[in-house]
C-alpha cells in the first residue's frame, strides 16, 4: 500500500496539533492567572485597609480621588481581565472536551506513520488506520476547532492591550457585576 503523505508531513501535523492544544491550555492559564491576580488584589487591599479608605472618601464625596488612585485602577483592571477570562476558560474547556480525546487517538495512530522504520513493519490494516488518521486530522485542521483557537488567541491578545479608560467605562456600566465578582472571590 502506497502512503499518501510523507513522514515529515505526519511529524509536522503532529507538531501542529501540539501547538493548537498549547494555545488552548494558554487560554485556561490566562483565566487562572486572572483569578490569581484578582484574589491577590483583594487580599492585598483588604490587608492595607484600602477598602476603609475608599469608603471614607465615598462618604466625603471624593470620587475623583478614588478614580485616579493607582491601586483602584489596578484593582478594577484585575476584575475586568478576570471577567473577560471567564469566557475563554469556558470555550477552551469545551474545545478540550470535544476534541482532545479524538485528536490524541488520531495522533497516536499517525505517530507510527511519522517513523519510516515503524511504518515499514506495520500491518496493512494498521497502515489504513494511519492513512485515515492523517486524512481526519487534515479535515479537522480546516474546521471549527482551528477557527475557535485562533479567535481565542486573538481576543486574549486584544484584551491585554485594553487601556484603563475603557476598563473604567466598563466598570461604570456594570458596577453590580463587578461587586458580584468581588463577592465570589
Residues 6 or more apart whose CB falls under 8 angstroms from that of 100 comprise 21
- Taking 60 as the threshold, does the pLDDT of residue 23 lie above it? yes
Mean pLDDT of all residues in 160-166: 91
Assign residue 115 a region (left: φ > 0; alpha: ψ between -120 and 50; beta: otherwise): beta
Mean pLDDT of all residues in 55-72: 62
Q: What predicted TM-score, i.e. pTM, was given to this entire model? A: 0.80
- Taking 80 as the threshold, does the pLDDT of residue 160 lie above it? yes
**How does pLDDT run across 76-119, given as a tens digit for each residue?**
899 999 999 998 899 999 999 999 999 999 999 888 777 666 66
132-165 in b/e form (b: 16+ CB < 10 A) is ebbebbeebeeeebeebbeebbebbeebeeeebe
- Taking 80 as the threshold, does the pLDDT of residue 40 lie above it? yes
Check residues 68 and 136 and name the one with the higher pLDDT. Answer: 136
Rounded to whole angstroms, the Cα distance separating 108 from 133 reads: 9
Q: Are 27 and 92 in contact (CB under 8 A)?
A: yes
Amino acid at each position: 500500500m502506497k502512503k499518501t503523505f510523507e513522514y515529515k508531513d505526519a511529524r509536522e501535523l503532529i507538531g501542529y496539533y501540539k501547538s493548537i492544544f498549547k494555545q488552548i491550555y494558554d487560554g485556561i492559564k490566562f483565566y487562572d492567572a486572572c483569578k490569581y491576580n484578582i484574589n491577590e488584589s483583594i487580599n492585598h487591599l483588604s490587608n492595607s485597609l484600602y477598602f476603609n479608605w475608599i469608603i471614607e472618601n465615598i462618604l466625603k464625596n471624593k470620587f475623583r480621588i478614588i478614580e485616579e488612585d493607582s491601586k483602584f485602577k489596578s484593582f478594577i483592571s484585575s476584575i475586568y481581565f478576570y471577567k473577560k477570562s471567564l469566557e475563554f476558560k469556558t470555550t477552551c474547556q469545551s474545545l478540550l472536551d470535544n476534541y482532545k480525546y479524538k485528536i490524541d487517538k488520531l495522533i497516536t495512530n499517525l505517530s507510527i506513520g511519522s517513523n519510516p522504520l515503524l511504518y515499514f513493519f506495520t500491518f496493512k490494516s494498521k497502515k489504513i488506520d494511519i492513512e485515515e488518521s492523517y486524512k481526519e486530522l487534515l479535515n479537522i485542521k480546516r474546521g471549527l476547532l482551528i477557527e475557535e483557537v485562533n479567535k481565542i488567541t486573538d481576543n486574549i491578545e486584544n484584551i491585554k492591550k485594553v487601556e484603563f479608560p475603557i476598563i473604567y467605562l466598563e466598570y461604570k456600566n456594570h458596577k453590580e457585576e463587578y461587586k458580584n465578582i468581588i463577592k465570589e472571590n
